[in-house]
Each structure stands twice: as structure tokens, then as C-alpha cells.
Structure 1
Amino acid sequence: MPLELSAEDLPEIAATAGVPHYQRGSLTPGIVHFGVGNFHRAHQAVYLDSLFNLGLDHDWALVGAGVRANDAEMREKLLGQDYLTTVVEQEAGGTSARVTGAMIDFLPVGDVAAIGEALADPKVRIVSLTVTEGGYYIDPASQRFDVDHPDIVADSVNPEAPKTVFGLILLGLQLRRERGIQPFTVMSCDNIPGNGHVTQNAVAGLAELINPELASWVRELVAFPNGMVDRITPATGQRERDALEADFGIVDAWPVFCEEFKQWVLEDHFPAGRPALEKVGVQFVPDVAPYEHMKIRILNGGHATIAYPAGLLDIHFVHEAMEHPLVRAFLEKVEREEIVPVVPPVPDTDLGDYYQLIERRFSNPKIGDTIQRLCLDGSNRQPKFILPSAADRLAAGQSVTGLALVSALWARYCYGESDSGKPIPPNDPNWERLTALAKQAKSDPVAWLSMGDIFGPLASNPTYVAAFTTALSSLWSRGTKATLEAYLGGTL
């Protein structure tokens, strides 16, 4: 008989899955986390659960928070199961499940007063966030905080009733400042180069619009450590719920399925204190930048490289894309010839070995990651994962044939129709704009590069423009398969 996930049923669930070894009633809050999605629950929450299982740092439990409608849905689901989550790790050789209990509360979404008071609680010493690459109000081309975004303008006009994550964080910091409480550390867990600096610019940038003195206080006294996070975590659907019930006898409203591999590299800059995460595998280093560059360029850039050709070839799962000889060969050639050579050295790491690890992880047949997920939000991901490598190669006078083809495949995908004529559903916050430009670019590829906010100086670089034009023209005249064959054969 399947068991509904709950604290009461943990003793019985322990027969098929790992469960917390600690008394959850002994936990007290130390971290408020914005953006309680699958990645957070498969990553930060798992590390904390492991630490608590060692009998350590029970004053660092998680409290969830959010600002979006799906945050409210997540809160409702987790509340119904005592804030427990089943994490299922899947590898070719086997599958295992564990129930994590590091979260002890989830603040009411939209309740500014409750969130503000939670952030002002002296017990809370870290505020962390996973709000996706597109959630930081960054201008894609300049990578600067967008002070003119309507959400930011609204929060600057009405700072006592903020609607954004950064407005809420600033409200909490202001309350602590007024009450003489040490500021919490703000820790981004998103895939953005220099994510600590980016988060600081967002919080201080909003503060500058409200009170320049407050902005100076934020920049001087609030810590924003940089970090690199990594774990492939697909979206949850009925497939995952059914698999959990069938394989482990657990009914979880929102389980998380993920790969076994995980990594977290952090700058050790936590003036208000931190949990001893180094005891459960977190790397604390003086400079995260080399690890960030490696992961964002090779892994996230690799995801973007396989996503759009696979999408145009009607491939559903990522491991199926890796089984396609053209897609796999395309990934390897772009990585080894154009991406890896411009990644700076990383301490104690062989970049060739790291790429081989990425290739194996992408090929995991059990993970169930979808091409549609990898194709999501290209307008925010291309400027972070693909275009910087192209810019570095151009600066060194090197070829960008493969990287330009990656972006051309994105343009072709945004036309909204695969090579077989199958409709591609909207998959980007800017989908309407992208599809309009993709239709123009069918006959005039340069129209796609008119998005100066995304392509920046690349849009006027003759070498890049020529490579992109050749690639997109080939995709339209010959199709995806023939274009990949031409690139792999050195004739594109």
C-alpha cells in the first residue's frame, strides 16, 4: 500500500527510502531561501539534510519564500507533506530515493509583512535564492542591472510593498539596519557568472533608486559570496510521480528526480556565520571564477549546443540527443575546438576530463531530462552560456563557425517549427519578439542579430556576422542534418 509522504509515515517509508536521522523538531531557522524549485530541493536542501544527519548545525534549517504564482503552488504542496521532499537519484546502474527534511517552514507568498519579519529575525543569517538566469533584471548585452525595468521601478516607488525578490531582500536588510541587527549574507545559487556580484548589483542598484545612503550601507556591510552550483535536475511531471509510487511506494505531490552527481563551490565570505558545509562535500575556495567559467561554458554551453539541433530534429529526451550521431559529434567538436580552449585553467582540474564527465552525464538514460527544458529561455541563456565564448575567440582572432551555428540553430528553433513541420510551442519569455525576428531572418539572417541587447558587439563584428549568416542560410536551404554534416566535415 503506497504511503503518503508525511512526518508521521517516515518510520514506514524508511523501509524503501532514506529518511532524516535527526529530530526535525530540534531544527531552528538559519536560512530563508527564495525560489523553492526542483534544483534547490535537489541541491542546497540535500547538502543541509546531509549535514543535519551528521548531528551538526541544527540551527541552519531552511525557510522557503517566493514571489511568483508557482511559488504559492509549491508552498501548498509542501505544506501538505510537512515540507518534506523525496529526492530520487538516477544513474544507469541504479536508482535510490531519500526523503529530505531540511525545510521547516514556507512563508506565505505575497505576505510582505511576514516575509519582512522573517528576514529581520536575528536567527536568519543567510538569505539564498534560485530565481533562474532571467530573474536578476540584467540587460543581456551589457550584463548590467536594468534600473528601468518596470518591476524595479515599481519597487523603487513603493519600497514598503515590494513585489520582487530584491525588493523583499532590501526590505529585510532595512529592517535589520533600523533594529541594529547584523545584516544577513545574500547567497545566489543561480548559474550566472559572478552571481554574487550580480546579486549585489541588483540589491544595491534598487537601493540606489530608493536611498543612496542605504545603497552605500549595502555595498559596505552586506556579503554576497560568489558560488558555482551543479546538478542536472529535470522538471517534475506525472511520469516522475508514478515512478516514485511504483518503485518506492511513496506518494509525493512534487518529488525531485536528479542525477547522482552534484557540486557546490563557494567563496568563504559569510560574516554572520555559515553551516559547516565543507563536511558534506562543498568546496570553499578563495576565487570561484575559474569553476564558474568551466561549468557555465562547458556544461551550460554544452546544453545549449545540443538543445536546438535536437529540438529541430524532434528529439524529446537529452539522452536520446546524445544517442544521435550527428548531435553528439556536433557537441564534441564545438566543445573541444571552440569552447574548452577559451576556458581559463581551473585548480586541480583537467578540462578535457571535465568535458568527458559532462558527456557521460548528458548521456544518462535514466535522468529523463527534456530537450524542451534545455531550449527554455534562450534570450537569457545565450548571452551567458554561448556568446561569451564566441567573443573570447574573436578577440583572439579565432574561428567561431561552431558557436555561430549554435546561435543560428537557436534562431531557426524560434521560428516555431521543427524541420519536420511540427509546431514548437512558446519557450521563452520573449517568444513573440523572437518568432517575429526569426521569420524575418529566414530571408535576412542579419535581422536576428539586430537584437543588440542580446548580441552586443558581436552583431557588428564582420567575422561573426559572416559565420552566423552562413549557418542560418544553410539551416534554411539544407536543413539541420545536412548543416551539421557540413560543419562536421569542415565544409560549412
Structure 2
Amino acid sequence: MTDQIRPVRMLHLGLGSFFRAHQAWYTHHAPDADAWGIAAFTGRRPDLARTLTAQGCRYILVVRGPEADRREIVRSLSAAHSGTDHAAWLDYWRRPGLGVVTLTVTEAGYARARPGDADSGRTGGGGLDTARPDVCSDIAALRASRVAEVTTAPAKLLIGLAARRAAGLPPPTIVPCDNLPGNAEAAQRVVRDLAEAVGDAALIVAAQHAPFANTMVDRITPATTGADRDRVGAASGFEDGAPVVTEPFSEWVLSGAFPSGRPRWEDAGARFVPDVLPFEQRKLWLLNGAHSLLAYTAPLLGHTTVAQAVADPRCREWLAQWWQEAARGLPLPGAELTAYQDALLERFANPRIRHSLAQIAADGSQKLPVRLLPTLRAERAAGRLPQGAARALAGWLLHLRGHGAQVQDAATDPALAAGPLPQAARRALAFLDPSLADDAELTTAVTAHARALERCLTLHSGQLTIPPIS
């Protein structure tokens, strides 16, 4: 898998499977791809950069349909680096041809505070969480001009923007590709908040003049397994250490200006629209919200993957209830929403995509506020008690209490969900949004669903006994 190295005009932070199945794939298929090589930096897996570098930054993308696989070699990566390679990171920012910086760092990677945290040393309402230890460390490092020590995504963006401005070059467009509503505004705010917290005039100016583009991204991409690598090697004759398995469906919707240029992604299937918000909400609430619902409830029925869950009539009933609640708040035609839900069921049911519920369950404290709470608030404001949302929150509460997948969420404390269920439910709701703490009716509903879900854990003759759940 050798090929001419393309000039680097794009940077990416968060070198993982989703990026390689999505942004790198769209760039690979753009008609001007030869002019838009990508230098990608890892987030959590420095070994991945070494693996890709050893194989010329080429990898095999496996598009796994319900009946067969389709394989292709993706060639849009020009370089892969560890996320700690600050010298290389800053070098790319100083190159005149740089036009775009994308990132996939998960919701937690933006280091945002939850609403209501301002009184505990944080900038509330989704701004930078200035009480987080890694953010505090980055602030101290930037004040001392030790840029090689920063670790958070906002800090890496900020030092890049400062380096580019110092070189007398216009900033590239920053394109966050994570599941956050208004992800451009969210990313822009944390970068500006960080500059303000450091108090350096040059950083503040650099942060204020960067263009950001809003995006909605969608392509189910489960974690690659050893068996996947073995199958790829057997089928292709190439021992690819970093193949990616993904579904056939893919969607990318963008809105924003690209004054320094960009690949012709629209010719590869991306859509450029005046407002991404309706598409963001549709995906966050109907797809990601459904994923979270299944991640916290389906394991209590004995399921480990999305496909197993949607094959269970009980889970499909829960999905339908949640979708009915969420769809009421979406500003899109009813027929379009129905068609989207039907397509989701088909995608979820793909028996050859092993999308782990445990993988989806990680970092729930960061995901649920954008996936579930907008619908919950809208329903409560309309005088309705959304049972689908309450059930999903009950599943998350039990997850925190040790049922289902192991908790992987640095933002939560085990004591949050300890003790009697009613008190634990109230604390969990208050943790997600302090305004929910005094909603006694909602607390009662979450508690009732949690108790019903607990009964699903009862084993009888080696089989799960599943009692009715209202």
C-alpha cells in the first residue's frame, strides 16, 4: 500500500476509527483529494500513530453490510503522530497551506462545565470547566509559556492558533465533529475561555479571530476487534494493523465559512446548509439518544450489542416510546422523521455490525445532557412526564450502581448513585441539571423505572426473567 504522499493541508485531532471512517473517507473521495493530505494526531492511543506510520498511513476500510463486506484502501492520511508530539503539531500550524483543522475528541474532550457549576469555580452553562485538574494544569503551563505540556483539546487548538498568528498567517477553519449541539460555538467558547483564563493578550487575540464550522456527523463505527484484523488480512493479503469496520450509511452536514479553502467534500456526498441545527437535533435525539437508552437498559436484559437489543421486542417498544417523545420537539416534517426512525431500526439491526453497548455507555455524564435532557425539559414544560426519557435515566442510574458495563466516566463519583434508590435518583438528576433536583414527579418516575429494571436482573433457571415494565 504505497502511494505518493499528499501535501498536508488538513490537521485532525483524535486519530480513531470514527475519523478514519468519516472525515478521512470523505476527503479520500473528494475529487481534489490529492491537494488535501491530512496529518492526524492521536487522542488516547499513541500506538495507533506508530502502526499507521509503519504502513505508510494507509489502511483498509471495511464497509460491513447485512450480507457482505466491501473493502477499500483509504489514502487521505499523509502523516500520523502521537498527541504528545507538540513540535509536529505546531509545525503544521505554521505552514501556509493549512486550511482546515478537524477534531473528534468525544463530548468529554471539550472540557466543558455543566450548567449550574459556576458557583464551584467553573464557568457555567457549557463554558470551559476551569476547575478540572487537566484544565488547571494547562492554564498554569500556558502562563509559564510551557506549551509542550498542555494536554486538553482546547489548549492544543489555542497554541496552534497562537503559533499561526505569530507566523503572520490567516487561521484555518476549525471543524469539530463530535456530538454536541452547536459544536462550532461550543468549541469556540472553550478556546476563548481558556485564553481569557490564561490572561495573555496574544492568546486572546488569536482565539477571537478563528473561524469555526458547525457540523453533524453520522456513521456507526464499532471498535475494531482482533477478529476483524484477521479477516482483513486473510481477504486482502495485507496485514493491516489498523483496519476500520463501519456501516454502509454515512452522513455529513456542514455550515460555515472556509476562507483558507477546503476539500470538495460535497462531491463526496457531504451537504452544506445554512443551518445545521435541525440535523444535529435529529441525530442527537433520535440516534444518539436511542443508543444511550439501549446502552443502559438492554444489558439488564442480557444483551451486549445494539443488534441484539433491537431484536428484542421489549427494547423496540422502549425505542418507539422514546422516539415519540423526542420527535415532538424536532422542527422537521413528520414523514421525514418517520422515515429516519425506520432507517435507524434497519441500521441498528445490521447483524454484522457488532456495536458494543458498553462502548456507547462510556462518559454518560457528558452525553446525556445533549442526548436526553432537551426532550426531557420540553416534555416537562408541556406538562407531560416522558416515560421513555425517565427509563433511560433509570438505566443510567443503575449503570452507575454497578449493573451492566463497567463505568467509564471520569466526571462521576460512585457515591452519586449510592444508597436508597429515591435519594440516588434525585442526586443523579441534580448532577445532570440542578433544575431537575426538585421535580418530585420525575424523581418518582425514574425510581419506579429503576426498580422495574432491577427486576430484569433476576435469573430463573439460567434465563433472564423479564417482568412487565410500565
TM-score (normalizing by structure 2): 0.90
| Amino acid across the alignment from 2:437 | A
**Alignment map for 1:58-69 (pairs within 5 Å):** 58-68=34-44
Equivalent pair of 2:52/2:58 in contact (CA under 8 Å): yes
Distance in 2 between residues matched to 1:334 and 1:120, nearest whole Å: 48
**Alignment map for 1:381-400 (pairs within 5 Å):** 381-400=367-386
Aligned to 1:308: 296
Equivalent pair of 2:107/2:367 in contact (CA under 8 Å): yes
Match of 2:274 among 279, 282, 286: 286
Change (3 A) 1:349 1:41: farther
The CA deviation at 1:458 is 1.7
**Alignment map for 1:50-61 (pairs within 5 Å):** 50-51=29-30, 54=31, 56-61=32-37
| 1:147 to 2:130 alignment | yes
| Amino acid across the alignment from 2:406 | P
Aligned to 2:20: 41
**Alignment map for 1:6-405 (pairs within 5 Å):** 6-7=1-2, 24-25=4-5, 27-51=6-30, 54=31, 56-68=32-44, 70=45, 72-141=46-115, 142-159=125-142, 160-161=147-148, 162-211=150-199, 213-214=201-202, 216-218=204-206, 220-336=208-324, 338-345=325-332, 350-405=336-391
Change (3 A) 1:119 1:484: farther
Distance in 2 between residues matched to 1:478 and 1:321, nearest whole Å: 14
| Amino acid across the alignment from 2:424 | A
Q: Which moved more, 1:268-277 or 1:180-189?
A: 268-277
Distance in 2 between residues matched to 1:136 and 1:283, nearest whole Å: 25
| Amino acid across the alignment from 1:341 | R
- Over residues 245-301 of structure 1, what are the superposed CA-to-partner deviations in whole Å (9 max), with x where a residue is unaligned? 233433211211000000000003112211111111110011101100000000000
Distance in 1 between residues matched to 2:467 and 2:34, nearest whole Å: 53
**Alignment map for 1:428-467 (pairs within 5 Å):** 428-430=409-411, 433-434=413-414, 436-440=415-419, 443-451=420-428, 452-467=430-445
Equivalent pair of 2:295/2:357 in contact (CA under 8 Å): yes
Equivalent pair of 1:89/1:257 in contact (CA under 8 Å): yes
Q: Give secondary structure in 2 for the equivalent of 1:344.
A: coil
Q: Give secondary structure in 2 for the equivalent of 1:145.
A: coil
Aligned to 1:473: 451
| Amino acid across the alignment from 1:457 | S
Distance in 1 between residues matched to 2:323 and 2:18, nearest whole Å: 25
The CA deviation at 1:59 is 2.1
Q: Give secondary structure in 1 for the equivalent of 2:15.
A: coil
The CA deviation at 1:315 is 1.1
Distance in 1 between residues matched to 2:205 and 2:18, nearest whole Å: 32
Distance in 1 between residues matched to 2:217 and 2:394, nearest whole Å: 28
The CA deviation at 1:130 is 0.4
| Amino acid across the alignment from 1:366 | R
Equivalent pair of 1:326/1:484 in contact (CA under 8 Å): no
| Amino acid across the alignment from 2:398 | R
Distance in 2 between residues matched to 1:155 and 1:349, nearest whole Å: 48
Change (3 A) 1:484 1:201: farther
The CA deviation at 1:237 is 1.4
Aligned to 1:414: 400
Distance in 2 between residues matched to 1:344 and 1:30, nearest whole Å: 37
Q: Alignment identity in percent?
A: 31
Q: Which moved more, 1:212-221 or 1:35-44?
A: 212-221
The CA deviation at 1:229 is 0.2
Distance in 2 between residues matched to 1:382 and 1:482, nearest whole Å: 28
Distance in 2 between residues matched to 1:482 and 1:465, nearest whole Å: 26
The CA deviation at 1:123 is 1.4
- Over residues 4-55 of structure 1, what are the superposed CA-to-partner deviations in whole Å (9 max), with x where a residue is unaligned? xx32xxxxxxxxxxxxxxx533x2111110001000000001111111xx3x
Change (3 A) 1:349 1:294: farther
- Over residues 396-447 of structure 1, what are the superposed CA-to-partner deviations in whole Å (9 max), with x where a residue is unaligned? 21221221111101111222235xxxxx43333346x24x33331xx23232
Equivalent pair of 1:326/1:485 in contact (CA under 8 Å): no
Change (3 A) 1:67 1:40: closer
The CA deviation at 1:343 is 1.9
The CA deviation at 1:477 is 5.5
Q: Which moved more, 1:326-335 or 1:216-225?
A: 216-225
Distance in 2 between residues matched to 1:87 and 1:216, nearest whole Å: 40
Q: Give secondary structure in 2 for the equivalent of 1:342.
A: coil
Equivalent pair of 2:300/2:457 in contact (CA under 8 Å): no
Distance in 2 between residues matched to 1:254 and 1:427, nearest whole Å: 24
Q: Which moved more, 1:140-149 or 1:186-195?
A: 140-149
Q: Give secondary structure in 2 for the equivalent of 1:233.
A: coil
Q: Give secondary structure in 1 for the equivalent of 2:418.
A: helix
Distance in 1 between residues matched to 2:456 and 2:61, nearest whole Å: 44
The CA deviation at 1:158 is 1.4
The CA deviation at 1:67 is 4.9
Unaligned runs of 5+ in 1: 1-5, 8-22, 419-423, 488-492
Unaligned runs of 5+ in 2: 116-124, 459-463
- Over residues 57-81 of structure 1, what are the superposed CA-to-partner deviations in whole Å (9 max), with x where a residue is unaligned? 422110011354x1x1110110111
**Alignment map for 1:477-492 (pairs within 5 Å):** 485-487=468-470
The CA deviation at 1:483 is 7.7
Equivalent pair of 1:317/1:370 in contact (CA under 8 Å): yes
TM-score (normalizing by structure 1): 0.86
- Over residues 112-151 of structure 1, what are the superposed CA-to-partner deviations in whole Å (9 max), with x where a residue is unaligned? 2221121121111111110011111112343332122221
Q: Give secondary structure in 1 for the equivalent of 2:34.
A: coil
Match of 1:426 among 398, 407, 411: 407
Distance in 2 between residues matched to 1:156 and 1:258, nearest whole Å: 38
- Over residues 65-119 of structure 1, what are the superposed CA-to-partner deviations in whole Å (9 max), with x where a residue is unaligned? 1354x1x111011011110111000111321000101001123442322211211
Distance in 2 between residues matched to 1:94 and 1:483, nearest whole Å: 34
